[in-house]
Structure 1
Amino acid sequence: MLVSRDPVTVLGPLRRPAPAVIAVALAVAVALGVWYSGDPVAGRVDRRTESIVDSVTGDHWRFFSRIVELGSPQFVVLWAVLLAGAALLLHRPRHAVLAIVGPGVTGVATTVLKPLVGRSIGDSAGYAYPSGHTGGATSIALAVALLVIGLAPTGRAVAVTVVASAALLAGGVVGTGMITIGAHYPTDTVGGFCFAVAIGLGSAMVIDRVADRRAARAGRSPTPSPR
């Protein structure tokens, strides 16, 4: 059976590559934040990317104005609660914790960082970096993908493909929508995506370590991660 009551790590076969991915994602997110700090206009990369995105999605503005709601706070909270409930029903308490902590910390981080970075966009000069909607959608997709590979253990290559595809699809679609409706610069969405990946995988690492230590103190050996 795919579902068991044995402790299962959140990261599974991703436990070894996770630190490197976290480091790269965090480095990119921080570098972009520093580079565009206080910037009120689009940079060269943003202008070129916006032009490409608009040429492809411009005629579908209404569709993307709706799809971006998948990354809105209310939807992220709803999906996080539903995912946590599903994880508990499937006897995956670690994944349930991640479903709340990952999106929650990502939401707080992107909200707090906006005024600190001070990058603005639009006539109202609203804060733009990093994109909270992109981060929210990415964090939920990441948590879902990790639950899937936890329920159906796979090799590392398949696990990486599943998790990366889910995060890129969710973050890419919502991020593209935010660019299309003019709510964010392209680099804002990249920053939101990278923060979500770093925070999501980082949270999973902490959850696993804390749970493993508690299991060890209780005299149980945690289920070894697939290699």
Structure 2
Amino acid sequence: MTRSEIRDPLPVALDPRLRRALTIVALAATLVVITLGTLYFAGGTLGAFDNHAEPLAGPRPPWHDFAVLIDFCGEPIGSTILTAGAVAACLVAHRVRMAVLTVLGVGLSVAATALLKPLVGRTIHGVYLSFPSGHTAFATALALLLALLAIDVLRLGTRTAAIVLVAMVLPAGAAMGWTEVVVSAHYPTDTVGGFCTALAVVPATAWLMGRVRIPRR
């Protein structure tokens, strides 16, 4: 078998038209996470902005029930179910590499928040490590990956693809971020950090996967 006969048998994990835009987004998101993480590591605070966490905590029904439901989606059981559903959708659409990216993208986004929390050392209620929010990172990463799947399957144009990305990722991240604040699990900037962590990790993971070539006979 010659080198010319070696091909990647799986479709690419990331639409080439989106690579530049997502790279810029990933770099900007990384800068936000580093800036906020450094601020809190040094003992700083954003003061009034994060103080909004207290008035929002403890919403009345039905908003409380709605928040609890969204929060469950970021818990181990809920997130596993949703991730498995997304992987199944990728496989049904014959996007095997996207299925792998979904598992890695979601897993690494949450893992990154788990690694950053003890490094930054920010706590809420004086006990729980809070920056960045793992729940928000999960929701953002999953929405981003589902948007990429839809763009690939539907063969959307660049402009439409950008609209789909914004329409899926922002509401998902905002909804989970709002939930984490109202249930008093995180400060607002914790959720911003989680949102940006996912935006940094998923494109980076896709780029690394794009460097991998799988030979076949």
Q: TM-score higher than 0.5 here?
A: yes
Distance in 2 (CA, whole Å) between partners of 1:171 and 1:141 is 8
Distance in 2 (CA, whole Å) between partners of 1:17 and 1:192 is 20
Distance in 2 (CA, whole Å) between partners of 1:29 and 1:9 is 25
Distance in 1 (CA, whole Å) between partners of 2:177 and 2:13 is 30
| Unpaired segments ≥5 residues, structure 1 | 220-227
Contact kept? 1:130, 1:189, Cα under 8 Å: yes
Alignment partner, residue 122 of structure 1: 125
Alignment partner, residue 100 of structure 1: 103
TM-score normalised according to structure 1 size: 0.82
Alignment partner, residue 59 of structure 2: 58
Instruction: Give the C-alpha shift of residue 40 in structure 1.
Output: 9.2
Contact kept? 1:103, 1:139, Cα under 8 Å: yes
112, 133, 146: which one pairs with 1:109? 112
- The aligned amino acid for 2:36 is L
| Unpaired segments ≥5 residues, structure 2 | 1-8
159, 173, 178: which one pairs with 1:157? 159
Q: 1:1-227 to 2 correspondence within 5 Å? A: 7-37=11-41, 39=43, 43-47=47-51, 49-50=52-53, 54=56, 58-59=59-60, 60-123=63-126, 125-210=127-212, 214=213
Q: Compare 107-116 and 83-92 and name the one that shifted more.
A: 83-92
Q: Could you say what the CA RMSD is over the residues aligned between the two structures, in angstroms?
A: 2.5
Corresponding residue pairs, total: 207
Alignment partner, residue 225 of structure 1: none
Q: Secondary structure at the match of 1:16?
A: helix
TM-score normalised according to structure 2 size: 0.85
Distance in 2 (CA, whole Å) between partners of 1:94 and 1:109 is 22
